[in-house]
Structure 1
């Protein structure tokens, strides 16, 4: 399992980029970029090296934390998975590639696709600080996704929400066509982000995909509105992160929705904890998504071994399916 914190070499690379720059200017650019995204804009708002660095300082820590949590879930479901080639689509400053490099020592080739020149340039510069990522290649031409070689693992993090609904279905098929083995798609943990994930999930299951995580089944999601499937990863804020965001707390919680799809069916079907369990002296009560649908596990304190294990359950974890009266 990898940590949600940025790797030391990436933190050092970001700090080096900040040297000699006015923090107030970086903070102002970061605020404007964030506002653009909140208003429905996209990465076109990032037009200069300063813009790219501002974006990276604000978003890389949270994106890395979310992607690392998803990759940890993938490794839990498929502990023997050892991909050699990664395709990072909508790579931005290369955040998902860093998380994948930390997760899989087997990765030897990293291909990053992003239409934004400033972000792609930053990704290449940051990658030089890591011996494995220093060999990454990048493309930003319009036909890159159709022309690149397929990869063992394909990642699209915080990407599908930047295209129209009509484009999204075509993009999903293109991503799947480039997936030799496993596709990870991550979106914000909002009802809208979850809806995009569920739509893509259903579309690709119909094309032959199987779910490895977070769902323990390939059937339709059993949740009904206003409920939605999302998770949270707590991460520490770096000093520069706090300064640029004007934050007060030394941590933040990144909420995300995701799906891991594979070419072959999963070999094990562990239940997923869908909310932080309620714990008292009598029992642990946890909302689970199981192979048979939604359920509530109630683990009584009189069963000391099971109760002790259930007390350690956390939101988003995969657990043995228990349902004790």
Structure 2
């Protein structure tokens, strides 16, 4: 399993960019960027090198952790997955590319797409001295236009970017992303009801195009959850000193909530699993777990007297896959 914390080379590259950079200025810029995003804005407000670096300090650790957690879940279901080419859509500072490079040592070619010049420049700077990412290709352009011109890849990733485009554009982008996917497509969004709604709409569209869900769902059917419930997961990550200063945080960790879907060209090979949808409740006589199963939603009780099953259930964590042999 890949660690949710930024890799050493990326930390070193960010630290190098921070020399001479005002932390108080960064905190002010971070607050402004966050306000814009909460109001429904997008990365178009990131125009300068300082803006891009502030964005990376504030958001890169959490985005990296969420993408890594999603990739870890995918690899647990598809341990045979060995992509050689990556296409990172709406790549920003290259966060998902770094996560994929850590998760898959077999990756050889990295193609990134984004319309933001400042984030593109930062991404190339951060990757310049990285042994794994020394030869990345980063094309500038709006998602749909740039994607239409891009080559297909074994693994396609779109992280925290679908929320920046309208619904009609999302439907068109879903078709293009799937067209460019040779094997697996991963989409990650914020773990909010709105982010989950985007994932569910995208999931349905991709299934209609012939995709098969690998994670987190154990089936290709309709999501069994009903409002106000929604499917999302949480990944804890450690905050660096700079990260805490920029975000005005007092605790040395952060819990990033995210929603995601990973789909593949071929059905998952024979494996049936359930997904733990919330942290299980450990009671005196039993463990109660909320699971998404191949047959739908289940509130499973594992009694203490079933010693082996109980011991196994005690290790379940929110987001885990419980594999069952078919």
- For 1:301 and 1:130, the matched residues in 2 are separated by 50
| Paired position in structure 2 for 1:225 | 227
* Cα distance in 2 for residues equivalent to 1:290 and 1:246: 40
Matched, 1:262 2:264: yes
- Residue 67 of structure 1 aligns with which residue? 67
Post-superposition shift, 1:281? 2.9
CA distance in 2, matches of 1:309, 1:3: 23
> Within 2, Cα distance between the matches of 1:238 and 1:21?
16
Please state how far the C-alpha of 1:321 moved relative to its aligned partner: 5.5
Three-state SS of the structure 2 residue aligned to 1:129 is coil
Measure how far apart 1:30 and its partner are: 1.0
CA contact (8 A) 1:197 1:258 kept: yes
TM-score normalised to structure 2 length: 0.97
What residue in structure 1 maps to residue 300 of structure 2?
Answer: 297
Corresponding residue number in structure 1 for 2:199: 197
Deviating above 2 A after TM superposition, structure 1's stretches of 4 or more consecutive aligned residues are: none
Comparing 133-142 with 56-65, greater Cα deviation is found at 133-142
Structure 1 match to 2:288 = 285
Which residue of structure 2 lines up, in the alignment, with residue 106 of structure 1?
A: 106
Q: How far off is 1:22 after superposition?
A: 1.1
TM-fit CA distance, 1:152: 0.2
Structure 1 distance, partners of 2:324, 2:105, is: 31
Aligned counterparts of 2:113 and 2:57: Cα–Cα separation in 1? 20
Q: What are the within-5 Å matches in structure 2 for residues 168-207 of structure 1?
A: 168-207=170-209
For 1:93 and 1:290, the matched residues in 2 are separated by 36
**Aligned residue in 2 for 1:16:** 16
Q: In the alignment, is the contact (CA less than 8 A) between 1:180 and 1:263 conserved in 2? A: yes
Distance 1:55 1:144 in 2: 23
TM-fit CA distance, 1:171: 0.7
Q: Can you give the 5+ residue segments of structure 1 that lack an aligned partner in the other structure? A: none
Q: Which moved more, 1:298-307 or 1:161-170?
A: 298-307
Match of 2:90 in 1: 90
Match for residue 244 of structure 1? 246
Number of residues of Structure 1 aligned to a counterpart in Structure 2: 322
Q: Structure 2: how far apart are the matches of 1:281 and 1:16?
A: 52
Structure 2 distance, partners of 1:169, 1:303, is: 47
SS at match of 1:26: helix
Q: Mapping of 1:69-148 within 5 angstroms?
A: 69-142=69-142, 143-148=145-150
**What's the C-alpha RMSD, in Å, of the aligned pairs?**
1.0
Please report how far the alpha carbon of residue 320 of structure 1 lies from its aligned counterpart in structure 2 after TM superposition: 3.5
Q: Deviations over 1:2-53 (max 9, x none)?
A: 0110001111111110001111111111111111111110001100000000
Aligned-partner Cα distance in 1 for 2:189–2:248: 24
Deviations 1:144-166 (A, max 9, x none): 21111100000000111100111
TM-score (ref. length: structure 1): 0.97
Q: Does structure 2 conserve the Cα–Cα contact (< 8 Å) formed by 1:290 and 1:321?
A: no
How many Å apart are 1:280 and its aligned residue?
A: 2.2
Deviations 1:193-213 (A, max 9, x none): 000000000011011000000
- 1:38 matched to which residue of 2? 38
The answer (yes or no) to whether the contact 1:10–1:129 under 8 Å persists in 2 is: no
- For structure 2, which runs of at least 5 residues remain unmatched after alignment? none
Question: For 1:60-105, what per-residue CA distance to the aligned partner results, in whole angstroms no more than 9, with x for missing partners?
Answer: 0000000000000110010011000000000000000000000000
| Equivalent residue number for residue 3 of structure 2 | 3
CA offset digits 1:99-132 (Å, max 9, x no partner): 0000000000000000000000100111123111
